[in-house]
Amino acid sequence: MLDPDNETGGNDRSKIISPIALLCRHFAKTKGPVSSMNPVKSAVALLVLASAALTLRAQDRPYGRSVVATQYGIVATSEVIASQAGARILEQGGSAIDAAIAANAVLQVTEPNSNGLGGDLFAIYWESKTGKLYGLNASGWAPKSMTIDHLSSKGIRTMPQEGIDSVTVPGVVDGWTKLHGRWGKLPWRDLFQPGIFYADHGFPVSEIIHAWWAGDSDGLRTNPESARVFLPHGNAPETGELFRNPDVAHALTLVAYQGEAALYKGEIAQAILKTSSDLGGTMTADDLASYSAEWVEPISTTYRDWTVYELPPNGDGIAALEMLNIMEQFPPAPAGAHSPAELHTRIEAMKLAYADVKNYVGDPRFAKIPVHELLSKDYAAKRAALIDPAHANCTVAPGALGSSDTTYFSVVDREGNILSIIQSNYNNFGSNVTVQGMGFALQNRGGLFSLDSQSPNALAGRKRPFHTIIPAFMQKGDEHIGFGIMGGLNQPLAHAQFVSNLVDYHMNIQAAMEEPRFTDRQQLACKIVIESRVTPETIDALTKMGHVLEVHGAYTSAMGRGQVVLHNSSTGINFGASDPRTDGAAIPEQPNFSEPSKKP
């Protein structure tokens, strides 16, 4: 309860008092002993004050949006029309998988910089009737001839971050196929109609996507096809400008009616191969045709009394789990989630976890990844002991063992099944290479390989690179939560902050998503980007500890953009939340209002 005698809001727990404390303060200010008051008046006063205190709490909450609640399904994405498309699929009897594919197809059109047919996909699916969790790794591999020696022969000494040599096989369509084959209910082709419609008829470009789009204009100009498709009239479309992409409508139509074969063996595959060949790339027909996404077992840790799940390497989710294990060695800070003590612990835990991930994580098919050791509570205790509570560590080393552009979205259907799913091109418009005649960019995930032959993430043909995109899931008792926060190397530390906000500071899912965050895209040094909603006093205290802070806007998209859904298996109620750092929303499914109702 906010103290009405203090006009300062925010999340400072020192300014929170209970309704009883308010009543005690009231009676302390009254003249004469409480026992001398009229009993009826005393009772009325108690009720009035209690009601006022509760009303004040609702009015002065420290977050902006309300949690969405419904007994039906919810689709939470970074674009309103994508959420609406997914919700419509739920209304037609579709599953969480069906709704996610439909929403993703729309996002392919409305956020072409972030995701699409040329990117990868990871997913965690929770099946409500069995309580079982499934993981899918639909990240693509490097072409067979893409090797360190090949790049060396071209005089390349560092891994390209754009262009055809940064391209890996797209995994998303095979990922959709495997998910739909197991849990889809509606016909495959029906799921792509919303995306095809918006590609053909156009959509008004949203605010944040315009900013990202415009920011990559120079990169798009390096490829004639990218410039033709994505820079109408020579520039990125403005906010609210109607943008059409008939080429991607054609590509989506091929996928809708021909299935995954269209991309891996058919007309789209031929277009990808021609595009690669014209630019001197190494992609072959067999690189595409032989690709298959992989079912994997999620990895987990416990944080306080919750269990948190991520996908195993080659993904980055293990960093979030190790960070939580380290944070668990410290009690929550009494002064709140964005107090100096709490933020210092989170920042230092992040550095320790990332030092390990950079040193040890790659594709487990090519090297042994020490997952068990990295997630050991004993190991976390040893790493936590390195944190100085008063000083920042700017030179973090890995422990000894025995920017980005992405789209995250989450769906819960009326049966309580949850899909936590993420899809990405990696950088803004990926490689900046657009497939000829197909209207979508190819990802640049190969840019995350290392050219150090001793690294577990060393480039090799048919190897998957280290991946930053990570869906997540957490549960305790009857509460089951699918969540994710996009943004390259920002993702694990954003996940850990969200979990701590919810578990340590008892925020609801919307408040936990909105809470001010910090990020560090460079990792391991002391330069931290932080939001301006963190108080000047906290920023000053962190600076004195040695953190070098760069203060961004109140809701900067540099912190990533998140979505979350929650299913309560006891009440059957679903909840959804959408990050205000994005253009999206959590949209609930509507019931069938045409069903006969009871007569009066």
436-460 burial string, b = 16+ CB within 10 Å, else e? bbbbbbbbbbbbbbbbeeebbbbbb
Contact between residue 457 and residue 358 where contact means Cβ atoms under 8 Å apart: no
| Planar angle of CA 515, 519, 522, nearest 5 degrees | 175
Query: 548-552 and 527-531: which strand pairing?
Result: parallel
Residue whose tokens read 């391209």: 167
Which region, left, alpha or beta, applies to residue 546 given φ > 0 means left and ψ of -120 to 50 means alpha? left
Could you tell me which of 104, 124, 101, 125 has the C-alpha nearest to residue 114? 104
Cα pseudo-dihedral 558, 511, 582, 350, rounded to 10: 30
In angstroms, the CA 144 to CA 283 distance is 8
SS (H, E, C) 389-423: CCCCCCCCCCCCCCCCEEEEEEEECCCCCEEEEEE
Choosing from 406, 407, 434, 535, which is the catalytic residue? 406
| Residue 306, helix vs strand vs coil | strand
Burial of 40 (0-12, 13-18, 19+ CB in 10 A): exposed
Q: What SS3 string covers 214-279? A: HHCHHHHCCCHHHHHHHCHHHCCCCCCCEECCHHHHHHHHHHHHHCCHHHHCCHHHHHHHHHHHHC
Is residue 307 flagged as an active site residue? no
Put the strands of the sheet holding 74-77 in their side by side order: 294-296, 132-138, 120-127, 418-426, 405-412, 74-77, 585-588
Annotated catalytic sites, by residue?
Answer: 406
